[in-house]
């Protein structure tokens, strides 16, 4: 694998409740090298955002967590971790789905979509100490060879699109090879470049669609994302409003 540090230390598990929980636990207990990856064949209690669950059939998909120490980042800039990870996963998907590469989009904040279906999800858990980012656990689930989803009707996998089975080990290595240059961009302070690239790949950007906020529904167009990662929507009266994940739903 062609990386300097991402995935060079990989812990491969047969079965675990959640690779993010496992990674957080080893971080608490030991000194873990930067770029350590925890992957598993079976994940019994995969987690999504805010108590959601993540479905993954054993030996079919990637379920892994990457441990990084982005201590150079201000806590205010945490959203850049979401951004660089989403870009790497989106590029990997475009590579695997070369025929439908232009349909691969990042659905704010960090789902990877092909057309209107979700092919990968990301769960980032940052450890803050003394108002600094101490460590980041980046959980990534990618639907590779699974052909049917029980709990997630909107899910799609690489195999469902291409009809071909992929070698999980190679996909995992390519993921590391996509992640590392984006992380190095972040480390080099190329924040604007990352942000611009993220906005360019954003699902439904600058298209008028229906959104739900609490009891209300309204038409709006995504016009940007704030530094804190809030979604910026332009309403029909021309005003721009910001929403966080809890406040807004896509139609």
**Residues found near ligand BT5 in the complex (CB under 6 A):** 18-20, 46-49, 52, 54-56, 63-65, 111, 118, 121-123, 139-141, 143, 149, 151-152, 155
Looking at the Cβ atoms of 20 and 36, the one nearer to ligand BT5 is: 20
Q: How far is the CB of 141 from ligand BT5 (least distance, A)?
A: 3
Residue placing its CB nearer to ligand BT5 in the complex, 94 or 138? 138
Cβ closer to ligand BT5: 191 or 245? 245
Tell the smallest beta-carbon distance from residue 49 to ligand BT5 (Å): 3
Residue 4 or 14 having the CB closest to ligand BT5: 14
Minimum CB separation of residue 34 from ligand BT5 in Å reads 19
Toward ligand BT5, which CB reaches closer, 124 or 186? 124
What is the nearest approach in angstroms of ligand BT5 to the Cβ of residue 56?
Answer: 6
Which residue number is nearest to ligand BT5 in terms of Cβ? 121
Residues near 239 by beta carbon (within 8 Å), at least 6 away in sequence: none
CB of 130 to ligand BT5, least distance (A): 27
């Amino acid at each position: 694998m062609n990386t300097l540090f991402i995935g060079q230390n990989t812990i491969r598990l047969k079965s675990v409740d959640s690779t993010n929980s496992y990674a957080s636990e080893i971080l608490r207990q030991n000194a873990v090298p930067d770029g350590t990856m925890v992957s598993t064949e079976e994940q019994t209690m995969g987690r999504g955002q805010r108590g959601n669950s993540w479905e993954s059939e054993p030996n079919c998909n990637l379920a892994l967590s990457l441990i990084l120490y982005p201590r150079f980042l201000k806590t205010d800039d945490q959203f850049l971790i979401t951004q660089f990870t989403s870009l790497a996963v989106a590029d990997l998907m475009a590579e695997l789905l070369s025929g439908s590469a232009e349909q691969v989009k990042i659905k704010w904040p960090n789902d990877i979509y092909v057309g209107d279906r979700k092919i990968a999800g990301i769960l980032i858990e940052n450890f803050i100490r003394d108002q600094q980012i101490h460590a980041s656990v980046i959980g990534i689930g990618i639907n590779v060879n699974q052909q049917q989803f029980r709990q997630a009707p909107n899910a799609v996998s690489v195999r469902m699109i291409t009809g071909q089975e992929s070698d999980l080990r190679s996909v995992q290595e390519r993921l590391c090879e996509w992640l590392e240059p984006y992380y190095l961009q972040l480390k080099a302070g190329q924040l604007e470049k990352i942000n611009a690239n993220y906005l360019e790949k954003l699902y439904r950007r600058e298209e008028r669609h229906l959104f739900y906020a609490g009891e209300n529904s309204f038409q709006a167009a995504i016009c940007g994302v704030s530094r804190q990662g809030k979604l910026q929507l332009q309403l029909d009266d021309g005003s721009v409003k910001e929403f966080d994940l809890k406040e807004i739903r896509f139609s």
